[in-house]
C-alpha cells in the first residue's frame, strides 16, 4: 500500500504555499493521501490567532473536493501541547503496517532538534522535507549527520520501508506565509489569490483575523 503523508502546521491560515507543496508531494511521491493535521495547542509557537477549530475549518474548506487530501483533527481532540511525536504515534496505531511520511518545510526541519522527543520521530515515520524559498539543506551539525545517515534521493525507499528515511524534495516555490496574510488582512487588504476563494470568503465573513 502507498504511503500516508502527514502534513502538520499551525495553518493560521492555510494558503496556496501549503496546498501546492502538499499536492506536489502527493503526486511526485505517489502517496495514497496527505493528511493535514492542524496543530491543536502549538508547543513552540505560543499563541495562534485563530482558534484550533477555526483553523481546522479553514483547512476543511481549502481541501474540499481534492482527492487524496484529508483533514485530520486528532490534535484538536487531544489535551495538552500538540507534540508531533504523539501525533505520529497515534497515526502509527491507526496504520500499523503503512509507510508514514511526515511532511515539513525546510524551515521547520531546521528546528527539528528542538522538538519534543525528536529522536523518536524516525522510529515512527519517514521525514519528507519540502524545499522552501531561501532555505538550504544543512550539511553539518546534527541535521547534517542525520541526512548523511538516513537521507535518500530515492522515492522508492519511502515505499519500500515504513519509517526511518529522510527525503528532501523540491517543490514549486511560492513565497506565501500565513504571517503576511494576517498582516495584510489586518491592514484591510484582500488576501484573494493567496488561498482558495472559499477560505478567503470564510475569513472575511467571520472576521477571524
Question: Which residues lie near ligand ATP (CB under 6 A)?
Answer: 9-12, 17-18, 21, 104-105, 107-108, 130, 132, 174, 176-179
Whole-number minimum distance, CB 73 to ligand ATP, in Å?
15
Q: Cα(78)–Cα(202) distance, rounded to whole angstroms? A: 26
The residue among 97 and 176 lying less far from ligand ATP, judged by its C-beta, is 176
Cell of 204: 472575511
Nearer to ligand ATP, 93 or 196 (CB): 196
Residue nearest to ligand ATP (CB): 105
DSSP symbols for 142-196: HHHHHHHHHB-S-THHHHHSSS--EEEEE-------HHHHHHHHHTT---TTSS-
Q: Is 49 within 8 Å of 19 (Cβ atoms)?
A: no
In the complex, minimum distance from the CB of residue 44 to ligand ATP, in angstroms, rounded to a whole number? 10
Residue nearer to ligand ATP on the CB measure, 50 or 163: 50
In the bound state with ligand ATP, the residue whose beta carbon lies nearer, of 124 and 128, is 128
Min separation Cβ 34 and ligand ATP, Å = 12
Please state the closest distance from residue 97 (CB atom) to ligand ATP, in A: 26
Question: Among 133, 127, 128, 129, which residue's Cα sits nearest to residue 172?
Answer: 133
21, 130 Cβ separation under 8 angstroms: yes
Amino acid at each position: 500500500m502507498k504511503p500516508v503523508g502527514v502534513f502538520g502546521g499551525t495553518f493560521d491560515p492555510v494558503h496556496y504555499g501549503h496546498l501546492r507543496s502538499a499536492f506536489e508531494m502527493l503526486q511526485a511521491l505517489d502517496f495514497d493521501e496527505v493528511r493535514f493535521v492542524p496543530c491543536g495547542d502549538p508547543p513552540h509557537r505560543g499563541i495562534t490567532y485563530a482558534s484550533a477549530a477555526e483553523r481546522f475549518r479553514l483547512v476543511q474548506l481549502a481541501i474540499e473536493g481534492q482527492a487524496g487530501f484529508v483533514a485530520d483533527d486528532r490534535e484538536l481532540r487531544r489535551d495538552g501541547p500538540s507534540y508531533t511525536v504523539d501525533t505520529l504515534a497515534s497515526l502509527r496505531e491507526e496504520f500499523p503496517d503503512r509507510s508514514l511520511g511526515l511532511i515539513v518545510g525546510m524551515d521547520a526541519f531546521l528546528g527539528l532538534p528542538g522538538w519534543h522527543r525528536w529522536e523518536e520521530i524516525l522510529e515512527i515515520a519517514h521525514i519528507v522535507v519540502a524545499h522552501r524559498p531561501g532555505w538550504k539543506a544543512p550539511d553539518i551539525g546534527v541535521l547534517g549527520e542525520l541526512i548523511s545517515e538516513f537521507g535518500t534521493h530515492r522515492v522508492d525507499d519511502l515505499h519500500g520501508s515504513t519509517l526511518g528515511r529522510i527525503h528532501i524534495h523540491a517543490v514549486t516555490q511560492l513565497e506565501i506565509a500565513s504571517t503576511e496574510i494576517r498582516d495584510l488582512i489586518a491592514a484591510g487588504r484582500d488576501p484573494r489569490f493567496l488561498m482558495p476563494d472559499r477560505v478567503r470568503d470564510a475569513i472575511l465573513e467571520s472576521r477571524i483575523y
